[in-house]
Amino acid sequence: MKREVFKFKNFDEFKEDIEKLGANIPVSENLEIFKTKVILGDKTAPNSIALNPMEGCDALPDGTPSELSIRRFDRYSKGGAGLIWMEAVAVVHEGKANPRQFLINSDNLGAYEKLMDQMCENAQKAFNHKPVVIMQLTHSGRFSRPDDKPEPVLACRVPVLDEKYGLDDSVRIITDDELERLEEEFVKAAVLAEKAGYDGVDIKSCHRYLISGLLAAHTRPGKYGGDFEGRTRFLLNVIDKVKDATGKDFLVTCRLNGYDGIEYPYGFGVSKEDPLVPDFSEPVKLLNILEDKGVRLVNITMGTPYFNPHVNRPYDGGGYIPPEHPIKGVERLIQGIGTLKSQTKNMAFVSTGYSWLREMAQYVGAGILEKRLADFIGFGRQSFAYPDMANDLLYQGGMQRKKCCIACSKCTELMRADTVTGCVVKDKEVYVPIYKRDVK
Ligand SMILES: Cc1cc2nc3c(=O)[nH]c(=O)nc-3n(C[C@H](O)[C@H](O)[C@H](O)COP(=O)(O)O)c2cc1C
């Protein structure tokens, strides 16, 4: 379903439009600012453009990157972004969100190593730089579907999500013992990622997968739920243990939901009175703890693609007509991330939610960087559609409208149709045949 599509014009008219729509969105034509390097402890990202994690759902059954996965990362690394945030990589088979999700273990370590080497070689050849590459480690929790049927395991019951996905009382809540063991699986996977040459790992804490669910598990009894200390215990234990098990220069980071839009006492970063209103006090408290632990990079997102996708990724076409103009969704993301950043001292923030803006994203991104509301401008769907967008932006005079993502949600349709995903519109040869075959 589509809302009336916002007409993207030139920079001046775009500026007028956002004013008319009353959106607080900074803009600037200073594209040179994207060339700013970002220092992350002992590592340096060569520019301020990030590719955000985008699952291609194209791994082999054992979680090893396939030819199609390798093609995606080839395109990313030849595209010029300074930070490549690899998509969700499961730490255990039962935590995969779909049968084709990446998974790292000692048997397929070599394939991940080769993928990383290839990325570095490509980037070196094309740009004489080395992108920072982060591997996102995940357990899918309530959204687990490792084989051909859902196998959810919950942090706690959440009426709105349970109802939407038909999860009754027979669905299991993960035990404290299982969580204790799972902490070690995250550590094992992080150690493997370091061995494979990745610059760091993200302990994925967003979009209501397992750890994000724990952060909101006010109603969970025991040591991994209830108060703030209990709800953050799993994430913080994993961060500590991974830091202990890896080298000093290895980046330990997390992609965190700053706000999930789910009502209290089931949400994180939401006002107790109104789930439509963020309350950043707990996310800020958590970020400050992470900062004290030496976490130097975070990636902030909002919402969940399964419940309120318009919060997660502003769109024109999707499963329902969003209750707000997409520009309001962009504003919530970028200003929320800026607010969180302003309450930390020494952490680099990746910002999210730019793909709907087409090539206007570069002006908004420049405005955000100028105002220091983020350190990286991160692109999700755009990276499927336009993997060399960074090259155009940095070195070819700017992004081109005709190459941009049109926020049509076909990549999500492919994912929901339980098949591999990518851009049906701008990467036609590969994904149109798959779309025609698999999307009914
Ligand atoms: C097909 C698809 C796959 C995604 N995969 C991931 C993922 O693996 N991990 C993650 O944190 N976010 C994932 N996301 C969310 C994106 O990283 C991003 O937050 C979202 O699309 C909004 O950014 P954008 O406006 O640039 O697309 C995915 C989104 C889509 C549409």
Best probe residue, ligand 1, of 25, 49, 51, 52 (max atoms within 8 Å of C-beta): 52
Rounded average pLDDT over 347-362 = 97
Write phi, then psi, for 431 (nearest 5 degrees): -100, -20
Nearest atom, ligand 1, residue 313 CA: 22
Confidence of residue 321 (pLDDT cuts 50, 70, 90): confident
Measured CA to CA in angstroms, residue 394 lies from 79, 344, 361 at distances of: 10, 28, 13
Separation of first and last alpha carbons in the chain: 15
Options 3.20.20.70, 2.30.29.30, 3.40.50.300, 3.40.640.10; which CATH number does 11-405 get? 3.20.20.70
3-state SS, one letter per residue, for 211-261: HHHHHCCCCCCCCCCCCHHHHHHHHHHHHHHHHHHCCCCCEEEEEEEEECC
Q: Distance, CA 306 to ligand 1 centroid (Å)?
A: 12
Say if ligand 1 is within 6 A of residue 54 CB. Answer: yes
Q: Residue 420: name the closest of 428, 408, 431 by CA.
A: 431
Q: Give tens-digit pLDDT for 188-235.
A: 999 999 999 999 999 999 999 999 999 999 999 999 999 999 999 999
Give the torsion sign (CA, 274, 278, 280, 282): positive
3-state helix/strand/coil string of 86-123: EEEEECCHHHCCCCCCEECCCCCHHHHHHHHHHHHHHH
Residue of 72, 86, 257, 313 to test ligand 1 pocket, by largest number of atoms within 8 Å of CB: 313
Q: What is the pLDDT of residues 130-146, one digit of tens each?
A: 999 999 999 999 999 99
Distance CA 344, CA 325 (A): 30
Q: Which residue among 25, 49, 51, 55 is best mutated to probe the pocket of ligand 1, counting the most ligand atoms within 8 A of its Cβ? A: 55
Number of other residues whose CB lies within 10 A of the CB of residue 377: 31
Which atom of ligand 1 has the smallest separation from the CA of 382? 26
Predicted local confidence at residue 3, as pLDDT = 58
Of ligand 1's listed atoms, the one at least distance from the Cα of 87 is 8
| pLDDT for position 436 | 97
In angstroms, rounded to a whole number, what is the distance separating the alpha carbons of residues 290 and 308? 27
- Ligand 1 pocket residue status of 255, Cβ below 6 Å: yes
Q: Is 380 in the pocket of ligand 1 (CB under 6 A)?
A: yes
Q: What is the dihedral of CA 416, 422, 424, 430, to 10 degrees?
A: -120
pLDDT category of residue 5 using cuts at 50, 70 and 90: low
If you take atom 29 of ligand 1, which residue's CA is the nearest one?
A: 54
pLDDT in tens, 148-176: 899 999 999 999 999 999 999 999 999 99
Return the closest-CA partner of residue 137 out of 19, 250, 38.
250
* Residue 55 Cβ contacting ligand 1 at under 6 Å: yes
Domain ranges of the chain: 11-405, 409-440
pLDDT, tens digit (0-9, with 9 covering 90-100), for 380-428: 999 999 999 999 999 999 999 999 999 999 999 999 999 999 999 999 9
* Confidence band for 316, pLDDT divided at 50, 70 and 90: confident
Measure 377 CA to ligand 1 centroid, in angstroms.
14
Percent of the chain with pLDDT over 70: 99
Q: How far apart are the C-alpha atoms of 413 and 317, rounded to whole Å?
A: 11
Residue percentage of the chain with pLDDT more than 90: 95
pLDDT category of residue 277 using cuts at 50, 70 and 90: very high
State the helix-helix crossing angle for 326-342 and 281-292, rounded to 10 degrees: 50
H or E segment and range at residue 185: helix 176-195
Residue 187 has pLDDT above 60, yes or no: yes
- Residues 75-121: tens digit of each pLDDT: 999 999 999 999 999 999 999 999 999 999 999 999 999 999 999 99
For ligand 1, say whether the CB of 409 is within 6 Å of any of its atoms: no
Is residue 218 within 8 A of residue 264, CB to CB? The reply is yes
Mean pLDDT computed over 321-343? 95
Ligand 1 centroid to Cα of residue 312, in Å, is 8
